[in-house]
Structure 1
Amino acid sequence: MGANISGAVADGDGDGPPSTPRLGDIPESCAALVLAQLDPPEICQLSLLNRSFCGASSADFIWESKLPSNYRFIVEKVLGDTTLLNLQKKELYARLCRPIPFDAGTKEVWLDKSTGGVCLSISSKALTITGIDDRRYWSHISTEESRYPTVAYLQQIWWFEVDGELEFQFPAGTYCLFFRLQLGKSSKRLGRRVCNSEHIHGWDIKPARFQLTTSDGQHAVSQCYLDKPGNWVFYHVGDFIVKNPNALTKIKFSLTQIDCTHPKGGLCVDAALIYPSSVGKEFRSSCS
């Protein structure tokens, strides 16, 4: 008798109604409310559970809440393609997670897939670098280790200064700014990565100085010795806070080592990068 009851509970495929509700019985509207509380990767994982979750995972109201508050600014001002606003919000989210070049391809913006946070990069060609046009000091070298086709390579100079600026509409939150740098010039030889350290000198005598200012008066300064030859390092410049998501925030930043008592060289400058603090914390260096 007990065995017959257990079998009846476990078997929901008989002529009568199932004895217990199953996961597949959850209405799409209820599944959508659950998914709305999750992060994008979790939504995509749960969409594989069953038909209800799969259908619910495409609901516009879910993905509208995952898009950053400035997504229309990115679509209209950066991409310049307002037809994208007609896409399902899930499709729009996926599109904005791919790097979007702007300013003649010298900058990129994209969304972090896991959080929807706005990330940006500014290539070496969009930076103002002292002496960059003099090939005795600087050159642009091809690379496969950057988001961009080339990086700026310093052979030797006495006065080292790199400046950049950006004006952008950011969602409210805290952001980290970094310089991505490498001591030495890397290349491939017989299919293996090698790093030429021939010109590396001068960076262990005095620290490099990093600065950041914003249009609303925020200021950050840090110093750091450049090290770890042959490795790309994210040097933390500083953080800034955005309180008004509807306003343009102008950021100015710099990297200098202007002690003219000694030359320095052998440095690759790739880009400056801006990440939401939740994303950027994994890149923080030891600068202080």
Structure 2
Amino acid sequence: MSSYGQKTKPGRQRLKRKEYILPGSEVIGKSGSILTYQKKKLEDLPAKCISRIISLTTPRDASRLALVCPAFRSAADSDSVWEKFLPSDYEGFISNSSLIDKKKKDLYFHLCRNPILFDNNTASFGLEQESGKKCYMAGAKWIYENSGISHRDCEMIPSSAGSRFPEVIELKLMSSLEIEARFGTTIFSPKTNYAAYFVFKFAEFREGPETSPIDFEVYFDGSHNGKKRREFLDPQLSQDRGNRWIEIKMGEFSIENGDEGTVVCRLSEPEPLSKRGTIIFQGIEVRPEYGRVND
């Protein structure tokens, strides 16, 4: 006789407080009804619940989870998930373009692979694919118009293949060169380490470097505590971006909450260049230290 005045059949058991029941087990409830416990699978959860769980992961994880099963694919591809991966201010960059009608997942990967231009096509905005962190590039014209180029032998010219911007600047290395770009830190993703890159190419093909070095600095305005990097404009030591465009790392900085003020990316000559030549300056790109935006 059971404690509730009923006999239990073999294989059945009373459900007691704090007792764990194996999936498939039959138990007798307090009212005397027979209950069978079945193991629930994650994909049996409501679609909104699955979407919520996936939105707490990363873009990379969401893409992988979409391959698990149809229920996951539907949730992982939903706008509610990918809206979470897009930066809060993304609509300001696409409000006047056809991108506003794209599904959020398609928009995300479009911004990763095709940075969009703004400020009269003088700057670009994109996303780093692995994390969704924001990336920016100040074009040569943008820097020039903001008094960021101190060089008398420069000329604005139409861009060539592989450039992100319609115009670039030709710099003749015949006198003192100084370039400075300033970025307000509120535009960057919080809790992120960033690196700045000087993007250029030589007007004519060459294998060797300029014989005089260039100083690169990245620091927060008012602190000037960044490390100075001295590099040669050397195609062999630079990162290739395709179509003869190359980049040199200028330095790094860390964003915590976006209230650090202004970050300064500066290039200068410690001494006049001893070898004369001409470079085509495309701009200064700032992106998360561990990734880059594709051109």
TM-score by length of 1: 0.67
Task: Provide the alpha-carbon RMSD of the alignment.
Answer: 3.7
User: 2:119 aligned with 1:119, yes or no?
Assistant: no
CA contact (8 A) 2:199 2:245 kept: yes
Q: Against the structure 1 CA distance between its residues 96 and 122, is the aligned structure 2 distance closer, same or farther, given a 3 Å change threshold?
A: same
CA contact (8 A) 1:107 1:121 kept: yes
Q: Which residue of structure 2 lines up, in the alignment, with residue 28 of structure 1?
A: 47
Q: State the alpha-carbon separation in 1 of the partners of residues 255 and 163 from structure 2.
A: 28
Q: Against the structure 1 CA distance between its residues 144 and 92, is the aligned structure 2 distance closer, same or farther, given a 3 Å change threshold?
A: closer
Q: State the alpha-carbon separation in 2 of the partners of residues 138 and 66 from structure 1.
A: 40
Aligned length: 241
Q: State the alpha-carbon separation in 1 of the partners of residues 110 and 233 from structure 2.
A: 36
The Cα shift of 1:222 comes to 1.1
For residues 91-102 of structure 1, the aligned pairs below 5 Å read: 93-94=108-109, 96-97=111-112, 98-102=114-118
The Cα shift of 1:67 comes to 2.8
The Cα shift of 1:53 comes to 1.4
Q: Which digits, 9 at most, give the CA deviation of each residue in 1:60-91, with x for residues without a partner?
A: 553344233xx22x434x5566xx99987546
Q: State the alpha-carbon separation in 2 of the partners of residues 166 and 215 from structure 1.
A: 10
Q: Against the structure 1 CA distance between its residues 85 and 144, is the aligned structure 2 distance closer, same or farther, given a 3 Å change threshold?
A: closer
User: 2:233 aligned with 1:217, yes or no?
Assistant: no
Q: State the alpha-carbon separation in 2 of the partners of residues 276 and 91 from structure 1.
A: 21
Which one has a bigger Cα radius of gyration? 2
Instruction: Identify which of 52, 66, 71 aligns with 1:47.
Output: 66
Identity %: 22
Query: Secondary structure of 2:174's match?
Result: coil
Give structure 2 stretches of 5+ with no counterpart.
1-37
Instruction: Identify which of 145, 149, 165 aligns with 2:182.
Output: 165
Q: Which digits, 9 at most, give the CA deviation of each residue in 1:40-73, with x for residues without a partner?
A: 24423432544311221244553344233xx22x
Q: Which residue of structure 2 lines up, in the alignment, with residue 226 of structure 1?
A: 233
For 1:240, the aligned partner's letter is F
TM-score by length of 2: 0.66
Q: State the alpha-carbon separation in 2 of the partners of residues 257 and 53 from structure 1.
A: 55
Give structure 1 stretches of 5+ with no counterpart.
1-18, 186-194, 281-288
Q: Against the structure 1 CA distance between its residues 202 and 278, is the aligned structure 2 distance closer, same or farther, given a 3 Å change threshold?
A: closer
Q: State the alpha-carbon separation in 2 of the partners of residues 171 and 96 from structure 1.
A: 15
User: 2:268 aligned with 1:251, yes or no?
Assistant: no
Query: Secondary structure of 1:120's match?
Result: strand
Q: Against the structure 1 CA distance between its residues 63 and 218, is the aligned structure 2 distance closer, same or farther, given a 3 Å change threshold?
A: farther
Q: State the alpha-carbon separation in 2 of the partners of residues 254 and 264 from structure 1.
A: 21
Q: State the alpha-carbon separation in 2 of the partners of residues 253 and 75 from structure 1.
A: 27
CA contact (8 A) 2:79 2:105 kept: yes
Instruction: Identify which of 189, 195, 200 aligns with 1:181.
Output: 200
Q: Which digits, 9 at most, give the CA deviation of each residue in 1:77-135, with x for residues without a partner?
A: x5566xx9998754664565442322211001111222101000111112233335x5x
CA contact (8 A) 2:172 2:279 kept: yes
Q: Which residue of structure 2 lines up, in the alignment, with residue 129 of structure 1?
A: 149
Q: State the alpha-carbon separation in 2 of the partners of residues 238 and 55 from structure 1.
A: 42
Q: Which residue of structure 2 lines up, in the alignment, with residue 148 of structure 1?
A: 165
